[in-house]
Amino acid sequence: MSHSLLALWTPLAPAPLLWLAVTLAAFILARRLQRAAGGTPLVNPVLFAIAIVAALLLTSGTPYKTYFAGAQFINFLLGPATVALAVPLARNLHHVLRTLRGTGLALLAGSLTSIISGISIVWALGGSHSMALSMAPKAVTTPIAMAVSQEIGGIPTLTAAFAIIGGIMAAMMRQHMLRKLNISDWRVHGLAAGVAGSGIAAAQVAPQSKLAAAFAALGIALNGVVTALLLPLLTLFWS
Amino acid sequence: MIEALLTLLGFELLGELLRSTLHLPVPGPVAGMLLLTAALVLRHRATGTPANPPAETALDRVSGVLLDHMGLLFVPAGAGIIAEGALLRQEWLPIIAALIGSTVLSLAVTGLVMHHIIRTQAEAAP
């Protein structure tokens, strides 16, 4: 009896459906945790959902490959979601055109600062070549960051983790830091959040000001494009 | 709604095709995003509608759903961190230093450059 039950259960256990359901459940749980904590950016739902899934995988001894067989159906949506960034970008294009020089130069400066400082700090502290390349696109929105990381020879999963942690750090520090620099313009706060911390920092600044939200969306989309174009060229000269 | 989904997937496909035929160093979805932005702007120009229409289109709604729940989409890739444990333990110092240092510098440089250009322009043209 128990043998036949086991035989029935075993072929079901690694079913992709299970890990697909676990991923959704972990995210729902993580969002409830954030709500219970008063919506603070410190309890980031992405970070907590990853921690829950990782803990389950490690304790059950499940290899990542088995997990991904199910979770790939969620991962696939990153492609259309990246394309979807075109919609807020097209809608806010008139804002960029009005402050073209400021937005463009700030974006270029911030993007280059992030890439070059990321690579140099890892390199200066004795990190490996592939670690430096995985760090380089970390300020960019995660789906673009992962694709760029793959393109230049980094490790996309590491880049995804760096992008998420970097985003949380930017969300925590942005307001305090820019106030210290005597900057109160919401356009500047929004753009800095989008360029340095992509989606996670943008989600944090959005409730404070609509104008900041538009510039954050802009910062995310344009930084993604600039980095995707610049980084493969920059790494051609550094190998 | 189906049309909007087809638009997003169609432009992703177009981006991938363009990338593989022209050997672009840009990821396919990013090329698709640029193409869709251009298409949206050109369509607004051609039909004479304002670039920021007040009415919400199906594409706005589908894109909104995807972008609002983007966090969930990062979880499968992020869980891949369990396969990189050894590398993380080995290089924790450069990782933490680069994450903090690079984020602080990027916030400050972006903010300061835009702040100064906007202020200079405002003073030049009162």
| 3-state SS, one letter per residue, for chain A | CHHHHHHHHHHHCCCHHHHHHHHHHHHHHHHHHHHHCCCCCCCCHHHHHHHHHHHHHHHHCCCHHHHHHHHHHHHCCHHHHHHHCHHHHHHCHHHHHHCHHHHHHHHHHHHHHHHHHHHHHHHHCCCCHHHHHHHCCCCCCHHHHHHHHHHHCCCHHHHHHHHHHHHHHHHHHHHHHHHHCCCCCHHHHHHHHHHHHHHHHHHHHHHHCHHHHHHHHHHHHHHHHHHHHHHHHHHHCCC
Question: With 50 as the cut, is the pLDDT of residue A1 above it?
Answer: no
pLDDT (tens digit, 9 = 90+) per residue, A43-83? 878 889 999 999 999 999 989 999 998 898 998 998 898 88
Q: Which residue type is seen at A175?
A: Q
When pLDDT is cut at 50, 70 and 90, the band that residue A3 belongs to is low
The arithmetic mean of pLDDT across residues A132-145, rounded, is 91
Q: Do B29 and A107 touch (CB under 8 A)?
A: no
The C-alpha angle A184, A188, A189, rounded to 5 degrees, equals 70
Has residue A12 got a pLDDT over 50?
A: no
The predicted-structure confidence for A74-122, as pLDDT tens digits, reads as follows: 989 988 988 888 888 788 777 778 888 889 999 999 999 999 999 999 9
Q: At what angle do helices A142-152 and A186-205 cross, to 10 degrees?
A: 90
pLDDT given at position A124: 95
Record: contact A64-B115, CB cut-off 8 A: no
Give the start-to-end residue ranges of the domains of chain B: 1-74, 81-126
From CA A107, how far away is CA A97, in angstroms rounded?
14
Which of A108-117, A211-220, B112-121 has the weakest average pLDDT?
A211-220
Closest chain B residue by Cα to residue A225:
B30
Q: Which of residues 29-88 of B touch A (CB under 8 A)?
A: 29-30, 32-34, 36-37, 40-41, 44, 51-52, 59-60, 62-64, 66-67, 70-84, 87-88
Nearest CA in chain A to B33: A83
Helix axes B2-22 and B58-68, enclosed angle (nearest 10): 70
Q: Which of A186, A192, A145, A188 is nearest to A164 (CA)?
A: A145
Contact A232, B25 (CB under 8 A): yes
If you ran DSSP here, which 8-state letter would residue B24 be given? Answer: -
B11–A196 CB contact, under 8 Å: no
Mean predicted confidence (pLDDT) in B54-65? 84
Q: At what angle do helices A64-75 and A16-36 cross, to 10 degrees?
A: 70
**A45 Cα to chain B: minimum distance (Å):** 8
User: What letter represents residue A48's amino acid?
Assistant: F
The C-alpha atoms of residue A212 and residue B111 are separated, in whole angstroms, by 12
The mean pLDDT value of chain A amounts to 86
Q: Is A216 a residue whose pLDDT tops 50?
A: yes
| Whether residue A147 has pLDDT greater than 50 | yes
Between A206 and A28, residue with greater pLDDT: A28
Percent of chain A past pLDDT 70, that is, above it, reads 92
Domains of chain A, residue spans: 2-76, 83-236
Average confidence (pLDDT) over B98-121: 93
Q: How far apart are CA B53 and CA B43, in angstroms?
A: 12
